[in-house]
Amino acid sequence: MLATIPSPTEGVLWLGPIPLRGYALCILAGVVVATIIAGRRLEARGYARDAAVGVVLWIVPFGIVGGRLYHVITTPQPYFGENGNPVDALKVWQGGLGIWGAVALGALGAWIGARREGVPFAVLADAIAPGLPLAQAIGRFGNYFNNELYGRRTDVPWALEIHQWDSGAGKAVVDSTGQPVVLGTFHPTFLYEALWCLLIAFVIWRISDSGCLRRGQAFGLYVMLYPMGRIIVELMRSDFANRILGLRVNVWVSILVFLLGLGVFLARRKADPDVRLARADDDSDRGADDGVSTASSDTSETATSDEATSTTKDSTD
């Protein structure tokens, strides 16, 4: 059994003068995985696999700007409050990307990219749907490297050890003896959310491949499922957050996003079926028809051959 889950005391790996931040590397890894998945799903639907790369080049910058804007707007105190520094709002590498802003502006970037690549937006959204939560799961480990996104204090066997963190230096604060300062052990809510995202990716992938979804519904399913887990995570967190009627802002936003996803899912009930599945079904039907036709042809040829043989035999007799 685990006593605790240790947290890193360094969030940055230096290659000479070049800093490699764990937070950024996790986000980058998530983007790469999501792009590969989206490319394969686009190709299965009759579009170029490389179109995913062209679209992602629009999604990423829009998503980063949107995520940072959402974070700064909903948590302005560190930047514009007492002792705040507005310049810090630009320091994305220190952490602080709101998923809702990233999804909102990222969707705008996806729409632009889809038009430029000649891919219908609904097809693109469905192709991205399982890869998006998978990318989020990988990206959440960036919070681990920054010693952030943890819940209330706990002594459960999987409790996460958290250090007092210097976000500017990207490492733990040390005491007079040079030892990292430990704040205590907390619920690893970053891990809970990562596991939830992995489950979402699996569910969407299986249901999408079952052929029971219409175009656009896979993405609607993601927009519905993710907020359900996010609400639970938000209620477990103990860090500072602005509140409305006693609830964290992200809880209210999650509720609204869930309703939006439900609306998208229901609105797409009469849309075209999944292109790849429809094509696969048509090919299967054609294969079955060809098989019947071939069998009928073989039977006819056999009958004709038998008649010819019989006629020849009668003539000989």
Task: For the beta carbon of residue 314, count every other beta carbon within 10 angstroms.
Answer: 8
Q: b or e along 104-134 (b: 16 or more beta carbons within 10 Å of the residue's beta carbon)? A: bbbbebbbebbeebebbbbbbbbbbbbbbbb
Detail the DSSP E strand segments found in 122-269: 160-163, 165-166, 171-172, 182-186, 243-244, 247-248
As given in the structure block, the two tokens for residue 145 are 């490297």
Cα–Cα dist 139/142, whole Å: 5
Sorted by sequence, the CB contacts under 8 Å of residue 81 that are 6+ apart come out as none
- Give the pair of three-digit tokens for residue 287: 């294969």
269 is in an annotated binding site: no
DSSP designation for 285: H
User: Looking at the chain, how many residues does it have?
Assistant: 317
Tally Cβ neighbours within 10 Å of residue 38.
28
Contacts of 233 (CB under 8 A, 6+ apart): 151, 189, 192, 193, 196
Name every residue whose Cβ is closer than 8 Å to that of residue 154 and which is 6 or more positions away in sequence.
185, 186, 187
| Region for residue 271 given its phi and psi (left: phi exceeds 0; alpha: psi -120 to 50; beta: otherwise) | beta
Please give the Cα distance from 114 to 120 (Å, whole number): 6
Residue list for the binding site: 140
